[in-house]
Amino acid sequence: MAIRSYLQAITDALREEMERDGNVILMGEDVGVYGGAFKVTEGLLEKFGPLRVIDTPISESLIGGAAVGAAVAGLRPVAEIQFMDFISCAFDQIVNMAATTRYRHGGQYKVPMVVRGPSGAGIHGGLFHSQNSEAWFARVPGLKVVCPATVRDAKGLLKSAIRDDDPVVYFEHKRFYRSVREELPDGDLLVPIGRAKVARAGKDLTLVTYGGTYYQSLEAADRIAREDKAEVEVIDLRTVLPIDYETVFDSVRRTGRLLIAHEDRATLGVGAEVAARVSEHCFEHLDAPVVRLGMAEAHNAYAPTLEEWLLPSTDKIVDKARQVLKY
């Protein structure tokens, strides 16, 4: 057992998978000599050499396209987007190429690639270094989309993603890199893609979350238990494509109430789909309207006070939860 940070867990996953499988390669801007913008890949160039840790030009479309080609050719590329805001530049390669290859070729080809990088707000990164882009990809057949919040999941889900034969888009919340630590077991740690986790049991309200609002949701549930004597069940989706609806449905059928909180905007976000599915499959079990909480319908802000106003928080989750509980 060892105490590892969220960032160290990701580095460990990359190193272990590169040691396990010689076909795993890394590529991206500054992943080699510099060790990555956040130092996630630090030391890997020295260990594995420039043929497996590849510094690319500043071109996300090139990174995405090269990863698709390498994957089809038999490698298992892990492509880093230095900030996931700029994954939009590789949208065509990921959505129109990687996601469709197995389908277009009748299953004869697979694309075992991972596109990973820092996502999310709360560090005063401004407009182009704070976005949550997961909903752009969460509706694309052929992709898997992962948003880990805990140290254990950051490592275990990345290892599973690298071993997966389909393309995985892997969003790491940059606010957690050095702020979150956890004791991890020795040995091979795998967390299955597509399974949610009940992070806190409860009987009065289901709170579905993932990524940047995970710890805020747990804090909110603790506060409501102390101050309102109500028990909130917190479910961490972990994977937003595919979503583990059965875990969500089972919880809602027991609690009768649902609040969904995520850092991304609510409009056409992951929470909108969860709300729609619950309304379709659990309507007769609901005792209150399904409620969503996301960031304000605006672009990310640089000023700390304005960014705080835009984003979900523990206080905002508590307020929404109380509205649902009192309905």
In which residue are the tokens 């597509």 written? Answer: 194
In order of their start, the domains of the chain are 2-184 (3.40.50.970), 197-326 (3.40.50.920)
Q: pLDDT digits over 258-267, tens only? A: 999 999 999 9
**Positions marked catalytic:** 129
Calculate mean pLDDT across residues 274-298.
98
pLDDT at 248 over 90: yes
CB burial of residue 62 (10 Å; 0-12, 13-18, 19+): middle
Q: What is the pTM assigned to this prediction?
A: 0.97
Cβ contact 1:185 at 8 Å: yes
Nearest one of 237, 239, 235, 210 to 221, comparing CA atoms: 235
Give residue 187's pLDDT: 87
User: Closest by alpha carbon to 121, among 272, 304, 319, 266?
Assistant: 304
Q: Report pLDDT for 119.
A: 98
Q: Percentage of the chain surpassing pLDDT 70?
A: 100
Return the pLDDT at 217: 98
Rounded to an integer, the average pLDDT of 295-304 is 96
Confidence of residue 317 (pLDDT cuts 50, 70, 90): very high
Kindly report, residue by residue over 164-222, the tens digit of the pLDDT.
Answer: 999 999 999 999 999 999 999 988 999 999 999 999 999 999 999 999 999 999 999 99
Instruction: Please check whether residue 113 is in contact with residue 79, taking contact to mean a CB–CB distance below 8 angstroms.
Output: yes
Give the per-residue pLDDT at 109: 93
CA separation for the pair 316, 327 (Å, rounded):
17
Tens digits of residue pLDDT in 11-28: 999 999 999 999 999 999
Q: Which among 272, 263, 317 is positioned nearest to 294, based on CA atoms?
A: 263
Please tell me the predicted confidence (pLDDT) of residue 1: 87
